[in-house]
């Protein structure tokens, strides 16, 4: 059994409204979709949603990297995932979002080959997971209104973007907590927007608003600052931009720099590496979250299956498909009901039908 053909598609998905975080604003997500066809009739879908800000990748670099990798994967056994990941890493350093597209498609094939939903093949710990919905940066009052709208839709957890201006950030959290009441979980994400001292000040001021955890308070490269914030914060600290790979996770855990880790398939190169991060963190008593960054239903399905499979992935921020206006997958998507991501009982990722207009014709075909 071998990989017979790889198709690469370039897609552009518009957000419902401009999405702003501490360091940038986006109106669309430019992603790359991969279809891997095997010589035994099973095919798998994968997706890359690159972020220049996080890993230095763009749709163009992903397409270039796939142009090197894809020809070498032809003829390889799709189920030998560790071997295929090793091959990709030996050919091209870094570029995790490009490699994630291949990794996700291989995992889709794994589930379809054994005729089971992917999460059942990978450990099958749970069948659904609570996801938050993210509130992008606006004025504190507008964000409080967005929070109420999200709660009315059934969301039980809010991820609030902060990190612009410390005083205004405190006001954001105060107004949102007042607007939604005590029962809704609130977690915050500063996206590297604060200096360590500012972070500690803000975190002490918002402690009374019952904040579950605070993501990436300081710049990724400032390890000393992160350690200082973690030591002095009354709120648990989660690393996001600071942890891309299993090696990063080990380094931060050894430095006692974090309480929690946000795993993203696009930072680490896909599901295979994400499982290693979750295992390292579990051994250290550090729970993980699964996050996302602009993925459509394909990438979100991959994240949901991983979170369902792995016990130590206790939190989920799986909402990018909900923030996008354009819908790539039309059937077999992981639905959200009362804040829970529910997996379809279909084989593999479960992605059943894609919107041909959005997908278009393949940019490249390797065979
Ligand atoms: Mg984050």
pLDDT in tens, 315-352: 999 999 999 999 999 888 899 999 999 998 999 999 98
| Confidence class for position 24, pLDDT limits 50, 70, 90 | confident
Residue 332 and residue 187 in one domain? yes
CA–CA dist 307, 146 (Å, integer): 27
> Ligand 1 centroid vs 210 CA: distance in angstroms?
19
Structurally, the chain folds into a number of domains equal to: 2
Q: Is the dihedral of CA 26, 161, 132, 254 positive or negative?
A: positive
Please check the confidence at residue 199 and state whether its pLDDT lies above 90.
yes
Q: Which residues are catalytic?
A: 161, 189, 215, 240, 264
CB atoms within 10 A of CB 79: 14
pLDDT at 94 (0 to 100): 97
Task: Kindly report the CATH number assigned to the domain that includes residue 99.
Answer: 3.30.390.10
> Ligand 1 centroid vs 178 CA: distance in angstroms?
24
Residue 79 and residue 155 in one domain? no
pLDDT at 22 (0 to 100): 84
Domain limits at 80? 3-115+355-366
Residue 15 and residue 146 in one domain? no
pLDDT cut 70: percent of the chain above it: 100
Asked whether residue 182 is assigned to any structural domain, the reply reads yes
Q: Which of 88, 2, 94, 97 is nearest to 40 (CA)?
A: 2
Residue 166 and residue 192 in one domain? yes
What mean pLDDT value characterizes the chain?
A: 97
CA–CA dist 174, 279 (Å, integer): 36
> Ligand 1 centroid vs 162 CA: distance in angstroms?
10
| Residues in CB range of 139: below 8 A, 6 or more apart | none
Asked whether residue 347 is assigned to any structural domain, the reply reads no
Q: Which of 264, 270, 221, 262 is nearest to 239 (CA)?
A: 262
Q: Where are the alpha helices (DSSP H) in the chain?
A: 52-55, 59-73, 81-91, 96-113, 118-121, 140-152, 166-180, 196-206, 223-232, 246-254, 265-268, 271-283, 297-309, 320-323, 356-359
pLDDT at 15 (0 to 100): 95
Q: Which of 294, 176, 289 is nearest to 238 (CA)?
A: 289
Residue 297 and residue 195 in one domain? yes
> Ligand 1 centroid vs 189 CA: distance in angstroms?
6
- For the stretch 237-253, pLDDT in tens is 999 999 999 999 999 99
pLDDT at 116 (0 to 100): 98
CB atoms within 10 A of CB 226: 25
Q: Which residues surround ligand 1, an ion (CB under 5 A)?
A: 189, 215, 240
| Confidence class for position 23, pLDDT limits 50, 70, 90 | confident
Phi and psi at 310, nearest 5°, equal: -110, 120
Residue 84 and residue 149 in one domain? no
């Amino acid at each position: 059994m071998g990989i017979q053909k790889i198709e690469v598609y370039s897609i552009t998905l518009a957000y419902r409204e401009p999405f702003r975080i501490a360091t940038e604003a986006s109106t669309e997500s430019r992603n790359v979709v991969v279809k891997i066809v095997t010589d035994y009739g099973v095919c798998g879908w994968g997706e890359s949603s690159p972020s220049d800000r996080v890993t230095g990748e763009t749709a163009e670099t992903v397409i270039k990297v796939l142009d090197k990798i894809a020809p070498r994967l032809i003829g390889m056994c799709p189920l030998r995932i560790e071997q295929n990941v090793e091959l990709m890493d030996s050919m091209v350093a870094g570029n995790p979002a490009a490699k994630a597209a291949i990794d996700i498609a291989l995992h889709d094939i794994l589930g379809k080959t054994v005729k089971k939903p992917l999460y059942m093949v990978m450990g099958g710990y749970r069948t659904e997971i609570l996801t938050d919905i993210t509130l992008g940066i606006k004025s504190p009052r507008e964000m409080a209104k967005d929070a109420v709208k999200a709660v009315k839709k059934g969301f039980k957890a809010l991820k609030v973007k902060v990190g612009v201006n410390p005083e205004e950030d405190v006001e954001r959290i105060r107004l949102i907590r007042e607007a939604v009441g005590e029962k809704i979980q609130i977690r915050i994400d500063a996206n590297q927007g604060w200096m360590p001292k500012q972070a500690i000040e803000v975190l002490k001021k918002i402690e009374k608003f019952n904040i579950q955890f605070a993501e990436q308070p300081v710049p990724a490269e400032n390890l000393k600052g992160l350690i200082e914030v973690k030591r002095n914060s009354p709120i648990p600290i989660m690393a996001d931009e600071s942890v891309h790979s299993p090696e990063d996770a080990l380094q931060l855990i050894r430095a006692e720099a974090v309480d929690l880790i946000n795993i993203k398939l696009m930072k680490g190169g896909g599901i295979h590496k994400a499982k290693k991060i979750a295992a390292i963190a579990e051994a250290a008593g550090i729970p993980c979250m699964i996050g996302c960054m602009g993925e459509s239903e394909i990438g979100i399905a991959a994240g949901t299956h991983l979170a369902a499979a792995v016990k130590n992935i206790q939190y989920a921020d799986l909402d990018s498909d909900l923030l996008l206006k354009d819908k790539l997958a039309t059937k077999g998507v992981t639905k959200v009901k009362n804040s829970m991501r529910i997996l379809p009982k279909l084989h593999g990722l479960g992605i059943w039908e894609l919107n041909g207009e959005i997908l278009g014709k393949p940019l490249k075909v390797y065979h």
